[in-house]
Chain A
Amino acid sequence: MRTNRHHSPPRWATTLLGWWTDPNTREEVEGDLLELYNHWVQTVGKRKADWRYSLSALKLLRPLARKQSNQPETTPFSLSADMVRNYLKIAFRNLVKNKVYSFINIFGLAAGMAVAMLIGLWIFDELAFDKHTKNYDRIAQLWQFVKFDVEKSSYDAVPIPLAEELRSNYPDFEAVSLSAQRSGILAAGEKKFVKTGNYVEPDFTKMLSLNMLAGSAAGLNDVNAILLSESVANALFDSNPINKLLKLDNKQTMKVVGIYSDFPDNSTFKNVLFIAPWKLLLATNDDTRSQQDQWDSNSYQILAQLKPGADFGQVSAKIKDIRMKRDDPPAYKPEFFLHPMSKWHLYREFKDGVNTGGFITFVRLFGIIGSIVLLLACINFMNLSTARSEKRAKEVGIRKAVGSVRSQLIAQFFIESISTTLLAFLLAILFVQLALPIFNQIADKKIAILWLNPWFWFSGLGFSLFTGLIAGSYPALYLSSFQPVKVLKGIFRTNRYAAIPRRVLVGFQFTVSVVLIIGTIIVFRQIEHAKDRPIGYSRQGLIEIKMNTPELASRYEAIRNDMLTTGAVTDMSESSGSVTVQYGGTTDFSWRTKTPDMHPLVMSNFVTHDYGKTVGWRLLTGRDFSRAFSTDTAAMILNEAAVKLMGFSTPLGELIHQGGRHYKVIGVIKDMLKEDPFKPANPSFFVLSYANINTINVKLAPQLPTSEALAKVEQVLKAYDPLTPFEYKFVDDEFSQKFGFEERIGKLAGGFASLAILISCLGLFGLASFIAEQRTKEIGIRKVLGASVFNVWRLLSTEFVLLVLAAFCLATPIAYYLLSDWLQNYQYRTDLSWWVFAGAGAGALAVTLLTISFQSVKAALMNPVKSLRSE
């Protein structure tokens, strides 16, 4: 037997067998043949044994046979329940062992996800605006382009007779309704509220498919019928309100014929709290009645619903020239068109007759910011996970040595990273739930998590899975390929290029952060810039009261005298509209040197004698209106912009023709900021009127406490009009509301910018500490050889500082480009001063240094004995 050991079968046959025999039986076939060969050598001699062996081997070749995977003794199933449990346990232990990293990792990712979720919900809400309306894709509002100057401007106010014209001559329309929003005093018994509502034609309720809770919308055909929203009905009446009576504006008695459920918060009609018949407006409002057949008086809204299949563009083309085809076409060339409901909210802006978007810009902007913050968080997560995973090379080696196959390791790392991201997702939902009240307040919304929306869960979970896969792919695919022998011997070393993608990612993070910081500063500077602008009047202690009821009108002198005698009021006047709003203008305005091709829009203001003193306007030349001159009923005061338009060097005494009358210019005031604070003031004129006015302006006496003064003003008004609730507005508040939108954007941008920086810093903190830990030995040796703390600190910080500087160099032009583009939207804008950029860069650098120094100083102060003694 001993000699037989020296005989071996033909090598080629064994090799062939190794290659091509059936892999499922290879082991026993090879063994059996070897055993038989030995037997044959003994019994029939080597030559025959060789022959038989080769022949059998050839006969056993099964080159097409495939390994069957369901054989547990050769390939363990990588996702068996036991192993998955083990992976989860190891994952959990890893998280608990490295508490700081786990916190940074999960918290950072959760914060990013929460931001993205909030923005996603917000965008969802914005895109869903008005979508709940049944005839969403067939409803449009009538708009018109008019040409006062060189460019076409757009208005959503149109003349009343247009409605009838569309209804009778254009078969494309299924329903057409006039609409006018007014605020009205609703009174039932003792209860009294001021609410906004619309005067509409009966088609309105059908068009919007009003959800009637009680009664019927058809009752609106009656002049004295009114529909109430659920909220108003509940506020006004204790029991069933149907067929009950209420008083509107202290004048008309109205019968409640129906209750509709309130329009949702994200609806154009959310302020429509009651619906009254158009006929009522015609019957009670002289203005409306007089404009009934006026084609050139544009103050009302028209809503229209097209027949199925009709196209907005084609119908717009048909109705475009309605006005110009009629007699006596006006010089401003109105072109009517339909603005579809799907564009009401997000695409409201037109420039020279072309839709230029509108709020959609901000939806897009925030979408981009959300994705960027999320991207930052993901980058962090990946950076940290991959950096940490190198620590686990030994674990991979040991696992492989005890029999793990690669697919198991891949499964392990994927399960680990995916469970971490899922944890972050749950945390993000918690964050969103906590942040929603504040977010809703800033964004002025009523958003809730879409618990029941499958898409919400689908995208959230899908995203977590995706992040988990990407972040886990480095350890899963790269680490699992290590050879256990090498890893356990400690030959394993990371590639020196492995850190490059990490550096690129950190650089990207800081670029984005710096851009966001600069952006935030500029937005706030722009707001401040406009707020500091001279407004041309004094807001101090100025309040305004709307006159809705006949009791207050035409008793000007009496009310004013009573007010002044209380001592709570410095002065009082009345005007057409609030001082913070410009209601309307006219092109019916001519002067001596006006050329025929000029038809500018000049803003008209009607005021009483005491207006100038009350609001505190500043006269540049001439004089204020005065009772001493009886001719002042034909006097006019212009603002600077108007004088500039007309090109007069000495405007006083010039005659102006307006509305069929001649006025003499008696004074020029500094421009008053009544409209958009980001635009230059429009040319305006002021004339005396005691009829065309609806607002009381009251300047409170500064020596009295505001609440006391207000009580006295209320007393005076109640004496004249006991039924109307006393509602006043501070001009200060009204003025600051002009910045509401910009401030909202600024606050949101600021919030997101600080989150982005926080996330970036978290990531940096983690990376810095990781690198410090990796270089513990190096630092120890350096210290032994005489390196100072400062040396070590510099060693660890240089890389990151360079990265931030590179990021800053990249961020500056990007921010400059984006922001100068944004500021182009404003005619009155701040400049992009260099110090904003420098400040943002310095800030980013300071934050970076602080973050890293915490780690690098800690590493530098460590006793080298400790770091070198281990192992």
Chain B
Amino acid sequence: MKRAFLGEFEEVVLLTVAILDEGAYGVTITQEIEQKTGRSVGFSTVHTTLQRLAEKGFLSSRMGGATAERGGRRKRFFTVTATGRKALLDVKQVREELWGSLPPQTLQLMGS
């Protein structure tokens, strides 16, 4: 079965969009990733990744209403599409299979 290819950062971004649900747009996504993973990510990186995911069909977007605080500029809100959800589940399953097939002694050595 052919699986969707999802890079590590793409997976993080896609998951974050899923977590944020209704309120996912450029700023919240960047901040959420920084908060959850503790690593500092550039907005440009997040933006580019979002564009790429939208191109691949994992994300869909719509423009929000105009807000005064951003100089009247609208926000672009992202939601995970069905294809996106499937890709996430695929990745999760692969991970779980891999973890499941790890020999027990190795697992013990890793200290968990």
Contact = CB atoms under 8 A, between A and B. Distances in A.
Contacts of B43: 32-33, 36, 52, 56, 60
Nearest to B72: A31
B70 A31 contact: yes
A25 B51 contact: yes
Interface string A786-800: 000000000000000
B42 A59 contact: yes
A36 B47 CA distance: 13
A620 interface: no
Contacts of B73: 27-28, 30-31, 34
Contact of A28 (B42, B44, B45, B63): B63
B24 to A, nearest CB: 12
B100 interface: no
A27 B70 CA distance: 10
A32 B31 contact: no
Interface residues of B, number: 20
Contacts of B51: 25
B30 to A, nearest CB: 7
Contacts of B52: none
A56 B44 contact: yes
Given A35-B70, A55-B42, A73 B47 contact: no
Interface string B68-107: 0111011110000000000000000000000000000000
Contact of B74 (A27, A36, A59): A27
Main secondary structure of the interface of B (DSSP, over half): mixed
B19 interface: no
B27 interface: yes
A35 B30 CA distance: 11
A39 B27 CA distance: 10
Interface in A30-53: 30-36, 39, 52
A548 B75 CA distance: 104
Contacts of A39: 27, 31
B25 interface: yes
Contacts of B76: 25, 27-28
Nearest to B73: A31
A31 B71 contact: yes
Contacts of B67: 31
Contacts, number: 60
Given A60-B47, A73-B63, A31 B42 contact: no
Contacts of B31: 39
A29 interface: yes
B108 to A, nearest CB: 42
Given A25-B51, A39-B31, A32 B75 contact: yes
A36 B27 contact: yes
Interface string B12-27: 0000000000000111
Given A59-B42, A73-B63, A29 B71 contact: no
Nearest to B51: A25
Contacts of A73: 63
Interface in A7-41: 25, 27-36, 39
Contacts of A27: 63, 73-74, 76
A32 B47 contact: yes
A680 to B, nearest CB: 92
B71 A28 contact: no
Given A56-B42, A59-B44, A32 B26 contact: yes
Contacts of B25: 28, 32
A396 to B, nearest CB: 27
A35 B74 contact: no
A187 B67 CA distance: 103
Interface string B50-75: 01000000000001000101110111
- 9 tightest Cβ-Cβ pairs between the two chains A and B: A31-B73, A59-B44, A32-B26, A31-B70, A28-B76, A56-B43, A35-B27, A56-B44, A60-B44
28 contacts: A25-B47, A25-B51, A25-B76, A27-B74, A28-B63, A28-B75, A28-B76, A29-B47, A30-B70, A30-B71, A31-B67, A31-B71, A31-B74, A32-B30, A32-B47, A34-B71, A34-B73, A35-B69, A35-B70, A36-B27, A36-B30, A36-B43, A52-B43, A55-B44, A56-B42, A59-B42, A59-B44, A60-B43
Given A31-B71, A36-B27, A39-B31, 12 more contacts: A28-B74, A28-B75, A31-B70, A31-B75, A32-B43, A32-B75, A34-B71, A36-B26, A52-B43, A56-B42, A59-B44, A60-B44
Interface of B: 25-27, 30-31, 42-45, 47, 51, 63, 67, 69-71, 73-76
